[in-house]
Chains A and B, each alone.
Chain A
Amino acid sequence: YTMSAGNWCLIESDPGVFTELIRSIGVQGVQVEELYSLDEGSLSVLQPVHGLIFLFKWQKDLQERKTAENASSVFFANQVINNACATQAILSILLNTPELNLGEELTNFKAFTQDFTPELRGLAISNSEKIRTVHNSFARPETFSIEEKNATDDDDVFHFVAYIHKDGRLWELDGLQEGPINLGEASADDWLFRAAPIIQARIERYSSTEIRFNLMAVVADKTVQYTQELAAVDEQRAMLMSQMQSDQVSGDLAALDARSSELQMLLATEQEKNERYRTENIRRRHNFVPFIVKLLRLLAEKHQLQPLIAKAKETVAAKNKANAESRK
């Protein structure tokens, strides 16, 4: 049957977009980081990691895999709307992380969908007004209607899979499968390092076939995390200072000093990053069409447009000629 759950726009797969999306839904203490490497060092820095999101270009030959039968404690939803799948992967992670402050919207949503089947949960996500509104707030603004280009050819279809840890197991949550896939035993401490080789194998498979992919981690809000640690370190320093004298104490103090300045640097980096996210998201939502038209008018006024058009036509003609010849 066809879905009529309203329009979901395609959103950009970007840590700044995902982070703001999560916060706008009302979840606190979480941010999204892009991962460029799966080595132990890169993963450790990010701890605590609530879940990983693996994004890749969808392939037709999706095979059905064996899904777990007894996984009622895992929140799993089927993917019923393509464009919403990034948001769905993020929600799957958030709703499977009990220690998070989900906020009113998601707390209610979780309770409401508690006894739903995966398919109904998928429908509930696509019908949620709040979630859809936040998701769609990242749409590119258009001042005139552009024929909505549906992702019909495979080029445009992306698929997200989430990896989480719950109840002593590592799970793969793929909305196109029937249920969660049990990837074996894992603890809170080691699940990331167990997931890494599995994802790495996938990356290698896709790299060789030139399938585009990227990897995101849903992690604790670093600003909150570093601020709390900095407060604790400063408190410890103050205590040590008051009992100065012994060599032992001055050694500890030096270590605390080092950690304190390191944390301050990390905090500054987070601040810069959040500022950059904010600016990028403002740009994403801005209607640049009047800007572009003004720019073109200024080019015309400065007598640069005509030569640029001529040059562009030459470039395109040369390309078309080369293409025609290569087909002969």
Chain B
Amino acid sequence: MNALSRVFAREARLAWAGGGGAAGPAAFFLACISIVPLAVGPQAERLLAMGPGIAAIAALLAVVQTAERLFADDASDGTLELYVLMPVSPALLALAKVLGQAAATLAPLPVIAVIGGIMFGLDFAQSALVGLALLCALPALALIAGFAGALAAGVKRGGLLIALIAIPMMVPALIFSSGAGRAALEGEWDRAWATLLLTLAVSLGTMALMPFGIAAAMRARTG
């Protein structure tokens, strides 16, 4: 097992062992998409139009609410210092850590998004595309949350800082992932697939760049 798979596996295991795994984000996501109809009213057409956007917003908020714990515990218990002193690329280590946590905690969200889409009146194919778009967006959302979490680790009122940093950076992933669902809803499947690929491109770009930012933030927190 190489160093990165060790970090990935450990972070996933710790997320389940100590943090309740996927239960928190899944419950938050489910609660968000469930209470929207209560707030905006039961009109079927309105809910149908809002479905893809609500799923994307709920996912964004679910990811942001996990960000504070992502690095705060490591900063307070000394793990962050140890990580920085390991003979492993800090950026790759950050990537493995964040994706390990995301795999353990965020994996159910696309599945719930499919169910949510059906709840909002989308047919199965449209709902599946909403779930797939969310799956494509999750790496970007998780890494941006990781970056904000690393910057805010050990900072008082870190949650506010995370929201201010992360949410604006998540806007492209939000726009493309909800856009893919909207295009499917309008029957424009070519545009839906193209937008889905753009969502994936945002995630791949984020995976290429953001680990360096997270690594720099980790180092800044240990100095």
Q: Do A and B come from one complex?
A: no
User: Interface of A with B (CB < 8 Å)?
Assistant: none
Which B residues contact A (CB, under 8 angstroms)? none
